[in-house]
Amino acid sequence: MSLEDKEAQEDELLALASIYDEDEFKRAQSVQGGEIRISVELPENFTVFLRGNQAENPPNNFECTVCFLPPIVLNFEFPADYPSTSPPAFTLNSKWLSQAQLIALYKHLDTIWEEKRGSVVLFAWIQFLKEQTLVYLNITSPYEPNICGQEKGQSRTSEEEVCSDAVAGATAQEESLDTRAMQDVESLSNLIREILDFDHAQQEKCFNGKMHTCNICFSEKLGSECMYFLDCRHVYCKACLKEYFEIQIKDGQVHCLNCPEPECHCVATPGQVKELVEEQLFARYDRLLLQSSLDLMSDVVYCPRPCCQTPVMQDPCCSMGICSNCSHTFCTVCKMAYHGISTCKMSAEKLLEVRDQYITADQATKRFLEKHYGKRVIEKAVEELRSNQWVKGNSRSCPSCRAPIQKIDGCHKMLCAACNKPFCWFCMHIITTADPYMHFNDPASPCYNKLR
């Protein structure tokens, strides 16, 4: 190795290490070489479409808009006479580019070397892969990758047609490049996961490295000190959100962890809550969230024992519930000890509750209530209610004993049949027994001359 080649190689490796961070460039330990992970620049609203098994109805297709795709991995090693004579030995790997596309890129990197023979070439390769890959391969949105090893019967994409100009004229000689241009993905499901995970990680990295204004305290803070709601992208500093979450959870408002922006209904994820609040408070949040979800499930009841309260799934065929925690067997309707086919016993308060529910229920609910509480018991309670309502609407209470009295005819001088006290129907005051008509004949009386 000439001194000039050695110095050129070392300078190029040092330059790469200074430009790219450890996630993008790793220098090899035993040889003059390394690995470069190149993120291709994507236009706005770039969509990836992955076609699933067309035998399913509907087909299991997947489509998403991404800002980043998993990197193209360039592994390289410098021969002793690089850059004066020979190019770097290299391989290309990608999860979302087919082998045919990678071969086309591989051939173009060789062309770039021929144009720059005698000079270092890695930076030119990186710039081409980063900025020109989509244009060179004629890739547009929506982009449908070709997954190698698709099962027979699954739809193949038109990937080779898309980049036909770049890979036209492939020969047996190009097949020798196969091991140096490989699509590094096992299946469609793996590719989906790889794309989503990498896009999320890169967006987090970009967010953490920029300054943002908190919409609560209006201070400028680095993204690593902030958090944003996933749907609306409104940004707040972690200190403000931590206080906001803690207040809501302590008040039991676990469904109110919305974005603080007025009229914004985006909700924080459990992972975001866990990141900000203390472990004990998150346990309360998790418990209340689970309980509120169970409360919305019509087939879930709670063990009636005050010391247990474990959720129990109702058996649709009978009203027996067995607690998995304390083994207590109970009726899921009245919450008392299980009583077989006997009707449920009710307290006075429960009877009123069932009666009111029965009055407004549909026929199916009425049959259910009659079955469990007894038809005659419920009908009697309804009759008593209606009787009391009629009495209340058509009678008045005696001012002496409060007995209900109905006036059908006659004058306003009334005599209670229960306590035998005379009273005025007009003003509902008790009048003297000795001369009850004085109340209507006395000019000073408010009911003067109002006997009828």
Catalytic residues: 411
Helix, strand, coil share of the chain (percent; to 5): 40, 15, 45
Is residue 285 within 8 Å of 273, Cβ to Cβ?
yes
Round to whole Å and give the CA distance between 157 and 100: 13
- The DSSP element (H or E) to which 425 belongs, if any, is none
Round to whole Å and give the CA distance between 96 and 114: 28
Round to whole Å and give the CA distance between 233 and 207: 11
27's tokens: 């220098």
* Angstrom distances, CA of residue 336 to CA of 243, 291, 302, 348: 43, 22, 12, 15
Which residue reads 């006075």 in tokens?
348
SS3 state at 176: helix
SS3 state at 200: helix
Question: Which of 253, 287, 288 lies closest to 267, judged by CA?
Answer: 253
Q: How far is CA 233 from the centre of its chain?
A: 15
Question: Which of 241, 190, 235 lies closest to 212, judged by CA?
Answer: 235
Report the DSSP pairing between strands 33-38 and 72-77. Answer: antiparallel
Q: How far is CA 183 from the centre of its chain?
A: 34
170: phi then psi, degrees, rounded to nearest 5: -65, 135
240's tokens: 């403000």
Bridge partner list, 237: 226
